[in-house]
Amino acid sequence: MKCHRVNELIELLHPEWQKDPDLNLIEFIRKLADEAGYEGPLENLTDDVLIYHLKMRNSGKDDMIPGLAKDQEDDFKTAILKARGIIK
């Protein structure tokens, strides 16, 4: 895991973990994994799962995933023209 990923994970993890101070780190990570729907062993849990879950944890059910919102086009015709490189 690169240094910026570690920093991003810690920045996202810290305020959420403070909401459950009675849990140790592994218990809290297991709680996050369960919330995200991850069912495998913790040693196979990726940082991506934790990062995206922490980013979306307090958002609404229908909110767009960060990173995808910037590419969203409400107009289908515009989306097709951009995808074909006709407009920017």
Residue 57 domain flag: yes
* Amino acid 41: pLDDT: 94
Tens digit of each residue's pLDDT (9 = 90 or more) over 14-29? 999 999 999 999 999 9
Residue 82 domain flag: no
Domain that holds residue 50: 3-61
Residue 84 domain flag: no
Tell me phi and psi for residue 16, to 5 degrees. -75, -40
Tens digit of each residue's pLDDT (9 = 90 or more) over 51-64? 989 988 877 777 77
Residue 66 domain flag: no
Residue 42 domain flag: yes
* Amino acid 70: pLDDT: 67
pLDDT band at 38 (very low <50, low <70, confident <90, very high): very high
Among 13, 12, 57, residue whose Cα is nearest residue 36: 57
Question: How many domains is the chain partitioned into structurally?
Answer: 1
Tell me phi and psi for residue 70, to 5 degrees. -65, -25
Tell me, what CATH number does 49's domain have? 1.10.1580.20
